[in-house]
């Protein structure tokens, strides 16, 4: 039992040896590399929509940067791609639009081949549609196509939610086709997509180093994390890391998280405090366990390679292993209600997984309205307490 459990755990940590990424990607991850990132923004206009005289004149001035189809036109506004690569991207986007593969407000991720050093690169693109005029409710909508390129398709898919949110943050700045605020608002915003949407996990691991286990435990146990003497960006990074590492929203029952948070708020558990006035930061009220400690080296190795996509995959594997263990404990608890041997297996499992405190915390919240299961959880809590005292 313990052999298979250890093997499964090691597989979840050793991302480089799994099929989560292609062999060519893994070869790049093994070395310390600096990934390039690019952005492009296009004006999208449906040919059936009425354009103002100013828009027509603007489009005519940029005729060499416009691709026209039967039912739409796509005009370059700004791009950080090399000049020879941008027309290739525009052709690709036009083809996707012609097939109806880009839906308004929904990000699409694929691999594109461009004349850039990487040749093949992951591309996130999203069509932001403008509100249609009441006078032309059936007209083809106008809008903007935003493209972010960097890493691989699989890597960008790990950050899909962050990218969707980042693109939506640009909506209020896209008012007119001319984009008079291009240099002051739009371009600076687009050029920061990689730093803001992808690099936050890397920055947190770099910040706390081997103390990352305390943040992982806080995320699993729904412990509040307070960051002092730091700028707003650092505070936001830590908050986003905790959210990304937590299992909130992944539970089979929505009431579980609410019950757990209520139970913790009534407990005497203290907030994890990160004081950034020192370098490295000082952490207080720290709590960890063997399960979280075992992931430290995987995070540090990935951070040393400067690859945020590998870091995110490790974080997802960490959550997946925690969920698998939670589901195993649920099954053992149900069996233990009818079998003393199953109760013994529960004790063995909790002793071997190294995450017993978190698993039982979640189990007690989930089984709060089931007296027999609560009795089993109480027995298991006493067992873990005795084991901890014996080891101390």
16 neighbors 297 (Cβ within 8 angstroms): no
- Report the C-alpha gap between 315 and 12 in whole angstroms: 10
Residue whose tokens read 């007690």? 364
* CA atoms 226, 286, 8, 306: torsion sign: positive
* Cα distance between residue 31 and residue 352, in whole Å: 34
Q: Can you spell out the DSSP letters for 186-255?
A: IHHHHHTHHHHHTSHHHHHHHHHGGGHHHHHHHHHTT--EEEES--HHHHHHHHHHHHHHS-TTTSSSHH
For 4-8, 107-111, 308-312, 379-383, which range has the lowest pLDDT when averaged over its residues? 4-8
Name 150's bridge partners.
37
pLDDT at 8 over 80: no
φ and ψ of 6, to 5 deg: -65, -40
State how beta strands 282-284 and 72-79 pair: unpaired
> For 252-310, what is each residue's pLDDT tens digit?
544 455 455 545 544 556 899 999 999 999 999 999 999 999 999 999 999 999 889 99
CA 291 – CA 276 distance, rounded (Å): 26
CA distances from 170 to 123, 124, 134, 173 (A): 18, 15, 24, 6
- What is d(CA 210, CA 213) in angstroms, rounded to the nearest whole number? 7
Tell me if 158 sits within 8 A of 202, measured CB to CB.
Answer: no
d(CA 353, CA 349): 6
If you write DSSP's letter for every residue of 103-137 in order, what string do you get?
-BT--EEEEEE-SSTTSEEEEEEEEEEPPPPTT-T
On whether the CB atoms of residues 308 and 201 are closer than 8 A, the answer is yes
Q: How far apart are CA 238 and CA 243, in angstroms?
A: 9
Neighbours of 71 (CB within 10 A): 11
All residues at 6 or more sequence positions from 296 whose CB lies less than 8 Å from its CB, including other chains: 210, 212, 213
Mean pLDDT for all residues in the chain: 83
| pLDDT tens by residue, 148-171 | 999 999 999 999 999 999 999 998
* Residues facing residue 78 across a β-bridge: 41
Residues of the chain above pLDDT 90, percent = 53
Domain boundaries, the chain: 38-47+67-182, 205-247+271-391
Would you say 78 and 37 are in contact if contact means Cβ atoms under 8 Å apart? no
* pLDDT (tens digit per residue) in 36-46: 999 999 999 88
Average pLDDT over residues 222-227: 96
pTM of the prediction?
0.83
- pLDDT higher than threshold 70 for residue 143: yes
Token pair 């040749």: residue: 119
Find tokens 């026209």 and name the residue. Answer: 68
328 touches 1 (CB < 8 A): no
């Amino acid at each position: 039992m313990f052999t298979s459990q250890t093997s499964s755990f090691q597989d979840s940590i050793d991302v480089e040896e799994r099929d989560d990424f292609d062999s060519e990607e893994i070869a790049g991850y093994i070395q310390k590399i600096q990934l390039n990132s690019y952005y492009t923004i296009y004006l999208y206009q449906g040919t059936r929509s009425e354009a103002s005289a100013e828009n027509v004149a603007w489009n005519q001035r940029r005729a060499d940067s416009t691709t026209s189809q039967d039912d739409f036109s796509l005009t370059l506004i700004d791009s950080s791609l090399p000049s020879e690569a941008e027309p290739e991207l525009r052709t690709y986007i036009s083809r996707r639009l012609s097939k109806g593969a880009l839906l308004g407000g929904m990000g699409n991720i694929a691999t594109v081949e461009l004349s850039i050093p990487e040749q093949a690169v992951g591309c996130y693109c999203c069509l932001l549609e403008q509100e249609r005029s009441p006078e032309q409710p059936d007209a083809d909508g106008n809008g903007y196509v935003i493209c972010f390129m960097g890493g691989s398709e699989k890597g960008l898919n790990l950050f899909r939610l962050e990218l969707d949110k980042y693109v939506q943050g640009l909506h209020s700045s896209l008012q007119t086709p001319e984009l008079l605020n291009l240099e002051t608002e739009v371009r600076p915003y687009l050029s920061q997509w990689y730093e803001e949407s992808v690099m936050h996990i890397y920055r947190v691991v770099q910040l706390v180093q081997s103390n990352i286990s305390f943040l992982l435990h806080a995320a699993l146990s729904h412990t509040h994390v307070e960051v002092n003497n730091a700028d707003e960006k650092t505070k936001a990074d830590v908050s986003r890391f905790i959210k990304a590492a937590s299992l909130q929203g992944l539970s089979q029952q929505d009431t579980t998280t609410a019950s757990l948070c209520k139970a913790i708020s009534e407990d005497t558990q203290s907030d994890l405090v990160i004081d950034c006035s020192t370098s490295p930061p000082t952490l207080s009220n720290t709590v960890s366990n063997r399960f979280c400690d075992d992931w430290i080296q995987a995070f540090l190795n990935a951070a040393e390679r400067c690859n945020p996509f590998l870091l995110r995959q490790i974080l997802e594997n960490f959550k997946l292993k925690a969920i698998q263990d939670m589901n195993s404990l649920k099954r053992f608890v149900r069996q233990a209600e009818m079998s003393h041997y199953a109760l013994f297996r529960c004790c063995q499992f909790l002793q071997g997984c190294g995450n017993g405190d978190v698993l039982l915390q979640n189990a007690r919240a989930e089984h709060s309205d089931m007296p027999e299961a609560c009795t089993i959880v109480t027995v298991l809590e006493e067992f873990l307490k005795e084991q901890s005292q014996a080891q101390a």
